[in-house]
Structure 1
């Protein structure tokens, strides 16, 4: 039973991670330093989509399922839990492009602020200023 709980928990973490990949850049509008972990997560998400590398969360879920006497996923996480369930498979490319667009939009404000700060001569854009005015 413990392995089944681990498999289910992995699914929850996987959903959360996917949400973070798509929407995790928006908190950087308020907290600029949050862009860096999101950049890494988005890069990993992109690598999973464009290469044949297995996501460690899918590997963990499959291992836990096998240990708990359940069938492993026959396809990847997105193919299993999203394609054909949340949306028809024929919309996969469109949804990938929309997700990428969401990531790029989320990065637009922090990057614009960073460029404006550099133009204004701020050597540390996004950091609070503690000097005297």
Structure 2
């Protein structure tokens, strides 16, 4: 594989990382919206224990990163891949560019503490939802009936 093929693979990989990053953000945001609506509507699936724990851990990870001043590993990986691809600034395909623009706000527009407060408040909302719509584990009797 020559130099240009490596750059192409790095660019495609960086674009894929942006899409994965966007999917993670949507899981956290839309997950909470669905948990709230589902709790009010009586949807049992929003109380799924594994789903709720993964959702909680996801936002707590973001809050921890923000409070610790750690740059997201997905952002770090994407920037490294862009550098490997010879891209000084973000230049991707239409979808990757759109996802990138939605996901990232231009540096200098908003102070970092604003994000920390937003992430922390959202994390608090997720925690509060554990009390108003607690997750439930399937009982062993219920699981045995399904087999």
Taking the TM superposition and a 5 Å limit, the aligned residue runs for 1:92-131 are 92=115, 95-96=118-119, 99-100=122-123, 102-104=125-127, 106-111=129-134, 125-128=136-139, 129-130=141-142
TM-score calculated relative to the size of structure 1: 0.62
Residue aligning to 2:96: none
* Structure with greater contact order relative to length (CA < 8 Å, sep ≥ 6): 2
After TM superposition, give the deviation of residue 93 of structure 1 in Å. 6.5
Contact 1:48 1:54 in 2 (8 A): yes
After TM superposition, give the deviation of residue 98 of structure 1 in Å. 5.5
Structure 2 residue 31 is the aligned partner of structure 1 residue 8: no
Give unpaired runs (5+ residues) of structure 2. 1-7, 39-44, 91-99
Give unpaired runs (5+ residues) of structure 1. 115-124
**Larger helix percent:** 2
RMSD between superposed Cα atoms in Å: 3.5
Residue aligning to 1:17: 24
Give the Cα–Cα distance (whole angstroms) in 2 for the partners of residues 50 and 9 of structure 1. 27
In the alignment of these two chains, the number of paired residues is 113
Residue aligning to 2:65: 48
Contact 2:60 2:123 in 1 (8 A): no
Contact 2:63 2:116 in 1 (8 A): no
Give the Cα–Cα distance (whole angstroms) in 2 for the partners of residues 64 and 42 of structure 1. 25
After TM superposition, give the deviation of residue 71 of structure 1 in Å. 2.0
Residue aligning to 2:94: none
